[in-house]
Structure 1
Amino acid sequence: MPDIKVAIFEDNKPRRELLQMLLETSDGFECTGAWEHCGQVIKNIVTNMPDVILMDIDMPGVNGIEGMRLVKKQFPGIKVLMQTIFEDESKIFDAVLAGADGYILKKTPPLKLLDAIREVLDGGAPMTPTVARQVLQLFNNKHYKNTTDNFDLTEREHEILKLLVKGLSYKMIAAECNISYATVNSHITHIYEKLHVSNAAEAVAKALGQHII
């Protein structure tokens, strides 16, 4: 199995170097580059296309959310895992709406960060539990129009969507529901189709925004 290629955008030099070292010394990972801002994000990644980008939200000039929009517009297949601090409430909300594939706290332990990279590449939406709760609170405070439409989700699909919103990985959902990983993947594919979304981040945003759960 080829190594997972990861690019880093982080303006804090010590943290950027630690992330680069983590990737370069971990089996199954390759760091394709590390930059302090998104001023030339497309130029930075185009020569050695990453599978996943670790994207800091707060950076000078072009911030992480704008950088992510640029990447997604030109290379929608690249997964973007946003890194944030707990206090960035509105920025977490903006990242969700902009289509972030996952959002985790910067204090996430190294092994859990590597797990999150694997998870987002596998189609999941890794989300630190504290961030998940924050996102839920943010959506509740935005006065979104409520809806009685459940999009014809089955009871099991509704259960899985709820666990996805809580930030559980596919493996954790499989264990919680006592079903196989493949079955979880199948259910989530059906959920995407019914919600008319293309990835886990959009599914989470829609579930919260329209009060499906």
Structure 2
Amino acid sequence: MYNQPEPRIVIIEDDQTIREGYAYLINHTSPYTVVATYPSFDAARNKIARDNPDVIILDIQLPGTNGIDALPILKKLLPEVYIIMLTVYETEKTILDALANGASGYFTKNTPTAKLIEAIRDVVHGGGPMSPDVAKTVILSLQRNPDSPLTRRETQILELMTTGKDRGQIAKELFIEVETVRTHTKNIYSKLNVNSKAEAIQVAKNKRLV
């Protein structure tokens, strides 16, 4: 009987310790083979087609071309490849951008190797594995009211408000100025016809805006 060869893996991750650790553990504790590792997409770009991987484990925060921008290029180079994102970032926009650009799975970097090996098996069999916290973010996004009057940025700010963060903390988390947060907050209050943070949160929850 013909046995299908086990999937070939490529890891693109700028942290050498993580890159080498995952490669060693996948090679020694799973039936899969890591055929190449790269510190960046730019280093992999001209070689990866020859590696002919079945699965790519791709970091998002890479030097040069980041993982989100690399995704569509990789899918063009290797249309049949499965790509599992590996990142410390789990903001809604990053997750949804990755999935929209062709990612097959999405895990945070604290994921144990055993889970990542399971994820490789799952994507090869047509699954879409994700860390529990990532899956929760995707589900909440799908459950949200599609007729929300708020922009994506306003929704992000309102979500952070509901967790108790002040304007300074929100600005730091979203890498924007405090004054920008203040302007967005003013727009949120106007669109929801409220005058306070507490009212905005209540209306948002009642109307499923967050």
SS in structure 2 opposite 1:7? strand
> Greater CA radius of gyration, 1 or 2?
2
In structure 2, the residue matched to 1:65 is 68
Q: Give the superposition deviation at 1:88.
A: 3.5
For normalisation by structure 1, the TM-score amounts to: 0.62
Q: Tell me the alpha carbon deviations over residues 109-156 of structure 1, each in whole angstroms, 9 at most, x when there is no partner.
A: 111110000100111101112101112234556x6459xxxxxxxxxx
In structure 2, the residue matched to 1:42 is 45
Which residue, 9, 15, 18 being the options, matches 1:15? 18
In structure 2, the residue matched to 1:77 is 80
**Does residue 1:127 correspond to 2:130, yes or no?**
yes
In structure 2, the residue matched to 1:209 is none
Q: Which runs of 5+ in 2 are unaligned?
A: 149-210
SS in structure 2 opposite 1:136? helix
One-letter code aligned to 2:56: I
Which residue, 24, 28, 31 being the options, matches 1:28? 31
For normalisation by structure 2, the TM-score amounts to: 0.63
Q: Give the superposition deviation at 1:63.
A: 0.7
One-letter code aligned to 1:48: D
Residues in 2 aligned to 1:116 and 1:135: alpha-carbon distance in whole angstroms: 17
SS in structure 1 opposite 2:85? strand
* Identical columns (%): 34
The residue correspondences of 1:1-213 to structure 2 (distance < 5 A) are: 1=3, 2-85=5-88, 87-140=90-143, 144=146
Q: Which runs of 5+ in 1 are unaligned?
A: 147-213
Provide the aligned C-alpha RMSD in A: 2.0
Q: Which has the higher contact order (CA 8 A, sep 6+)?
A: 1
Residues in 1 aligned to 2:37 and 2:115: alpha-carbon distance in whole angstroms: 20
Residues in 2 aligned to 1:119 and 1:145: alpha-carbon distance in whole angstroms: 34
Closer/same/farther in 2, CA of residues 125 and 134 from structure 1, 3 Å limit: same
